[in-house]
Amino acid sequence: MTRRILLSAGLAAAGLMVMGETLPAQAQVRAFITNERDHTMSVVDLDSLKVIETIKTGRRPRGVTASPDGKLIYVAASDDNRVEVYDSKTFKLVKTLRSGPDPELFVLAPSGNPLYIANEDDNMVTVVNVENNELVAEIPVGVEPEGMGVSPDGKFLVNTSETTNMAHVIDTKTNEVIENILVDSRPRIAEFRKDGKQLWVSAEVGGTVAVIDPSNWKIIKKISFEIPGVNKDAIQPVGVRLTKDGKKAFVALGPANRVAVVDTGTLEVEKYLLVGQRVWQLAFTPDEKLLISTNGNSNDISIIDVGTEKVTKSVAVGRSPWGAVVVP
Amino acid sequence: MKRMVRAAAAAAVLSFVGGTFAAVAQENPAPAPKAAAAAAVPAEQSFRVGLVRQMPPLPPWIAPLTAPPENLGVAGAELGIRDALASGRFLKLDYKLETEVVPADGDPLPAAQKLAEAGNNYILLDVPAAQLIRIADALKGKDVLLVNVGAPDDSLRQADCRANVFHVAPNRAMLTDALAQFLMTKRWRNWFLFVGRTEGDRLYAEAVRNSAKKFGAKIVAEKVWDYGPDARATAQSEVPRATQVGEYDILVIADEQGEFGDILPYNTWLARPTAGTQGLMSLSWHPTMENWGAAQLQSRFFKQHQRMMQPLDFQMWEGIFSIASAGMKTRSSEVDKIRAQLLSPQYDLPVFKGVAASFRPWDHQLRQPILLTHATNTVTLSPQQAYLHQRTPLDTLGFDQPESRCKLD
């Protein structure tokens, strides 16, 4: 008994030493994965596809994003009602920011400031200056605000409210809601195409993705998904990512355990990629060679090769992986 | 006892008249943001929702500290209105709630008529089945849509169905089918059914027998609880004797008022699990439900009422929000339009249980997943994965179209 303890302590010490040695030499591409249920963030080295660090975060980490230069990682610690900012190289907590109650998802302005935060419990979007932690604005939106997208020019912020079933368009100059677009049930994510000419909004319970024309905020098409052998009720679009060239969209389909590949020109689904269970959010590597999906129920991430559109590997992370961001 | 109930009911009514509206107004101070496409938005629409709750008689074994909260159910309706307002303000939709609480020995019909005459086109009802039929018949032909949020009676979805009633509360057949699917998945096929003495218990037991037949379980023993009221003090000696019925896999309890069901676990002759109205319970909702965004609803409810959300609270929230969400699509508070929306194939109501709920056109029952829960954990949600259906797996719970004996005129 005593011997076993000693042995494991020895192993742990060895593990720490190994960790210590790898830490300084970090120039590689890293993914940061928030694990909602064990209150940690896994750091995955995308060369070796290994977890190189598990950072203890505040309670219930969900939304995660990076500063434009990739140096800072922002994490929404939902149950601690704050945003935590980590150094992406040392993995140390740099500072915490105000967030308003129950922050879930957020988006940084393209310039890197301010941070727009959805307060899920409070029907509000909180705008925070990341430099000085000042409250810029609180914008009332619908019930259970969640998805946050910002137009590439930074002029429009779009928030989805999960129970109100709307995408609220906010003018970032005035911080006022200028348009409300009714979409299908439980809208989760709002994502602009890089040319700003399409806005994609996923509806988890409705099972569709609405593609919206930002010139008039009208829905161009609602994309629905059909997978042989998978019940329609299980097809629940959540995470959406579009390639920089604007040609392809990837849509995570929740308990259907698939990521759909959609042509943004024809708005037709081209194929479905089998990933882990209850796939939630997606993140590209900076070179867009890889796409990562967080799989909430199988506690892993899937690595998708974007060029061949094939799932190449899964990597075990923490309990209920939620969000993902990759920095160079 | 009766006096106490009446006094409590009166207090509740007062607090609604004096409190609720003001509270709702205060909690939603945010002005309606200006809409860019103002011209396209029709004039403000007002939804006036009434609520009639007849207090159930308190069983003798309930002590003041274990009594259900006074605002049970109504609290969920209040949150529903608040959520509806927070959503509807973007579309110039207004929602108002007017509540009438009727004592156990009172008559809910005049209360419902009063609400209808005051212009409440939508009325949520938590009243016994016989009263619900009286109210539905009295308001037939009026411009009023009734939503049953409380009565679980199968008969209301079958021969006694009414065209002006929509059912949000799950009926007993849905609850027992949900349980049966799970027990069959676990291969606990041999059931010992213990039935209480009330009419509700008898009906629940009937539903259990039907579910057993539908899904291939076997009721190997059946008993009626006739050990007198409140056997808590002598349970350890009485229950072992009462449960010597030979081999079985699980004890299924039909005890809607909670007279004896909770004293059976750990007192049975054989070491067997319990399920039904106690033990592993089939419910529309439970405080332990947190997946699928449920945590957010639970937390909103707790913030507003400083207690956890019970099934009746949830059903009233669903009742309000089914009208409210239909209204966001019609942008009109006209009863005919809302009714058509509720029955349209496109209508879906997110209910925080993974899949959307919707109304069955043949009997107006809301199809939704059912929780199987013990006191501290939601074990699973039915329908279970293996039960398939050509339309939606939700129609494996309760009365599917071919089994319907409902004729809506």
In chain B, the residue whose alpha carbon lies closest to the alpha carbon of A203 is B350
| For residues B119-148, average pLDDT | 97
Average pLDDT of the residues of chain B: 90
| Half-sphere exposure at residue B184, Cβ-oriented, CA atoms within 13 angstroms | 21
Residues of B with Cβ-Cβ distance to A205 under 8 angstroms: 348, 350, 355-356
When pLDDT is averaged across residues A293-306 and rounded to a whole number, the result is 97
- What mean pLDDT is predicted for residues B152-177? 98
Fold matches, B2-170+286-368 and B173-283: yes
Q: Determine the distance in angstroms separating the CA of A210 from the nearest CA of chain B, rounded to an integer.
A: 15
Tens digit of pLDDT for each residue in B330-340?
Answer: 999 999 999 99
The DSSP bridge pattern shows strands B165-167 and B145-148 to be parallel
As a whole number of angstroms, the distance between CA B408 and CA A69 comes to: 64
- Number of structural domains (chain A) is 1
Residue of higher predicted confidence among B58 and B155: B155
- Report the C-alpha gap between B335 and B332 in whole angstroms: 9
Asked if the structure places residue A140 within a domain, the reply is yes
Sheet of A300-305, strands arranged across: A279-284, A290-295, A300-305, A310-316
Beta bridge partners of B145: B122
Residue-wise pLDDT for A169-186, tens only, equals 999 999 999 999 999 999
- Residue A249 pairs with which residues in a beta bridge? A242, A262
Residue A23 has what pLDDT? 46
The answer as to whether A251 is a domain residue is no
pLDDT at B36 exceeding the cut of 80: no
- Each residue of A43-86: pLDDT tens digit? 999 999 999 999 999 999 999 999 999 999 999 999 999 999 99
Whole-number pLDDT of residue A131: 95
Residue A143, domain member (yes or no): yes
Is residue A65 a part of any domain in this protein? yes
Nearest CA in chain A to B386: A231
Tell me which residue range forms the domain holding A94.
58-182
Nearest to A47 by CA among A320, A313, A321: A313
Which residue did the predictor score with more confidence, A230 or A43? A43
CB–CB contact A166 B90 (8 Å) = yes
- Read off the pLDDT of residues A287-296 as tens digits, 9 standing for 90 and up: 999 999 999 9
Give the model's pLDDT for residue B61.
Answer: 82
Q: What is the predicted pLDDT for the residue at A251?
A: 98
Q: Name the token pair of A147.
A: 């998805």
Chain B interface, mutation test: which of A78, A105, A141, A163, most B Cβ atoms within 10 Å? A163
- B2 burial level (CB within 10 Å; 0-12, 13-18, 19+): exposed
Average pLDDT over residues B211-238: 91
Residue A102 at interface with chain B, using a CB cutoff of 8 Å: yes
Q: Hey, which bits of B7-92 come out as E strands? A: 45-54
Mean pLDDT of B141-146: 97
Q: How far is B153 from chain A (nearest CA, A)?
A: 28
Question: B173-283 belongs to which homologous superfamily?
Answer: Response regulator (3.40.50.2300)
pTM for the predicted model, two decimal places: 0.86
Q: The domain spanning residue A114 has which CATH number?
A: 2.130.10.10
Closest CA to A150 of A188, A193, A98: A193
pLDDT of B199 strictly over 90: yes
Q: A297 in a domain, yes or no?
A: no
Q: Does A171 touch chain B (CB under 8 A)?
A: no
Residue A203 in this model has a pLDDT that exceeds 50: yes
Is A152 within a domain? Answer: yes
- pLDDT score, position B227: 82
Q: Is any Cβ of chain B less than 8 angstroms from the Cβ of A237? A: no
Residue A248 resides in a domain: no
Distance of CA A19 to the CA centre of its chain: 27
The reply to whether residue B293 touches residue A186, judged by beta carbons under 8 angstroms, is yes
Question: Can you identify the CATH homologous superfamily of domain B2-170+286-368?
Answer: Response regulator (3.40.50.2300)
Residue A257 touches partner B, C-beta closer than 8 Å? no
Q: What is the mean pLDDT of residues A13-28?
A: 48
Confidence check: pLDDT of A22 > 50: no
ipTM: 0.82
* A162 reaches B (C-beta below 8 A): yes
* B57 pLDDT above the threshold of 60: yes
How confident is the model at residue B42, as a pLDDT? 57
Q: What mean pLDDT, rounded, does chain A reach? A: 91
| pLDDT value at A8 more than 60 | no
Inform me whether the pLDDT recorded for B3 exceeds 80.
no
Give dist(CA B140, CA B161) in Å, integer.
Answer: 13
Side-chain-facing half-sphere of B274: CA atoms under 13 Å: 22
- Strand-pair partners of A86: A73, A93
Q: How confident is the model at residue A27 (pLDDT cuts 50, 70, 90)?
A: low
Full DSSP string of B298-359? HHHHHHHHSSPPPHHHHHHHHHHHHHHHHHHHH----HHHHHHHHHSTT--EE-SSSSEEEE
Q: Is residue A213 part of a domain?
A: no
For chain B, the structural domain boundaries read: 2-170+286-368, 173-283
3-state secondary structure of A93: strand
